[in-house]
Amino acid sequence: MVFKINRMKRVVIFGELPIATKVLLFLNQITDVEIVGAVTQKRNKGNVDPFDCPSLYDYCIKENIPIFSFQDLRDKFQPGDLDFGFSVRFSYILKEDIISLFKYSIMNFHGGLLPEFAGLYSSCHTILQESAIAGGTLHLITDSGIDSGNILKRCEFPTEPNDTSETIFQKTQLVLFDGFCEIVNDFLEQKVESISQQELVLSGKSNCYYDKKSLVKELFLDNDIKRKISVHARGFEFTGHERGYIVVDGMRIYFTTKNLEGFI
């Protein structure tokens, strides 16, 4: 069912990175959208966003856009007072009492394809799982579950042999913003059809969730791989003969028992 809103649509943006600023700027150009404010904070971490614009916090300070905390939202608004929320690569989970403040919908920008890469470190796991496609997902937030809402749009691109976690992250930011621009007007009119993640699982998509500890075991080669490297090094270590090697970016990296000391 389509709900026509015959008044200014009251919007709040949640986020920190420059992509959140891009979203705010785009929304501000839509004539029937009122930017009520942003939930953001000053970032101390480095920025690798591909967008040439300030963080959301810095932009709001410069342009005198109201900045709210979660408690500010609870104090200032009643359930249904706000219309739409945009959680743009936001690093905090929205609780039920915050979600209830929005009459219509909250769109989340997730940095991985759903349902394959729910949770954290999506760009890292895309590389580690040797996925042929990467990207992000625009989905609804209807409860406090993590990356569990119905999908509005999967924003995909093919991975390339020289991609790193950082390049995947940057490309994902770009396709997420492009996808947002494609659907936001229909989203604000409640015309975008969503699909449940369960439907995608039933159609053959994998369903994986990665938590804070998910990369710990991936940082180190498992014992079987280390054993094979050790065997390879020992098997080809003979004076006057070429040693065992792997090729990385066209360069041979040789294994010897000496350079593996402390590693195996």
260 domain-assigned: no
Are both 127 and 164 inside the same structural domain?
yes
Same domain, 152 and 70: yes
Phi, psi of 170 (to 5 degrees): -65, -45
Residue 3 domain-assigned (yes or no): no
Distance between CA atoms of 208 and 120, rounded to whole angstroms? 11
- Token couple for 103: 């009459």
User: Are residue 204 and residue 245 in the same domain, yes or no?
Assistant: no
pLDDT in 10s for each residue of the chain, 264 residues = 444 555 799 999 999 999 999 999 999 999 999 999 999 999 777 778 999 999 999 999 999 999 999 999 999 999 999 999 999 999 999 999 999 999 999 999 999 999 999 999 999 899 988 899 999 999 999 998 899 999 999 999 999 988 989 999 999 999 999 999 999 999 999 999 999 999 999 999 999 998 888 877 666 666 677 777 776 666 666 666 677 777 777 788 787 777 666 554
Do 41 and 9 meet the contact criterion of CB atoms below 8 Å apart?
A: no
> What are the C-alpha distances in Å from 97 to residues 14, 74, 127, 206, 214?
15, 8, 36, 31, 29
Residues 6 or more apart in contact with residue 98 via CB below 8 angstroms = 70, 73, 74
Q: Does residue 215 fall inside a structural domain?
A: no
Which CATH number is 38's domain given? Answer: 3.40.50.12230
**In the chain, how many domains are there?**
2
Residue 189 lies in a domain: yes
**C-alpha–C-alpha distance, residues 211 and 142, integer Å:** 21
Rounded CA gap, 244 and 42, in Å?
50
Same domain, 58 and 116: yes
Do residues 244 and 188 share a domain?
no
259 occurs within a structural domain? no
Q: Tell me if 35 is assigned to some domain.
A: yes
Where would I find the H helices in 96-157?
A: 96-99, 122-128
Residues 154 and 241 grouped into a single domain = no
Cβ 26 vs Cβ 184: under 8 Å: yes
Domain containing 100 equals 9-210
Shared domain check, 243 and 125:
no
Cis peptide before 115 (omega within 30 of 0): yes
216-223 long-range contacts, Cβ below 8 Å, gap at least 24? 218/124, 218/128
Verify that 183 and 69 share a domain, yes or no.
yes
Q: Same domain, yes or no, for 246 and 121? A: no
**Is 185 in the same domain as 247?**
no
Same domain, 188 and 227: no
Residue 263 counted as domain residue: no
Strand 133-140 to 151-158 pairing: antiparallel
In a shared domain, residues 123 and 242: no
What does residue 167 show for φ and ψ, rounded to 5 degrees? Answer: -70, -35
Q: Is residue 2 part of a domain?
A: no
Distance of alpha carbon 153 from alpha carbon 8, whole angstroms: 25
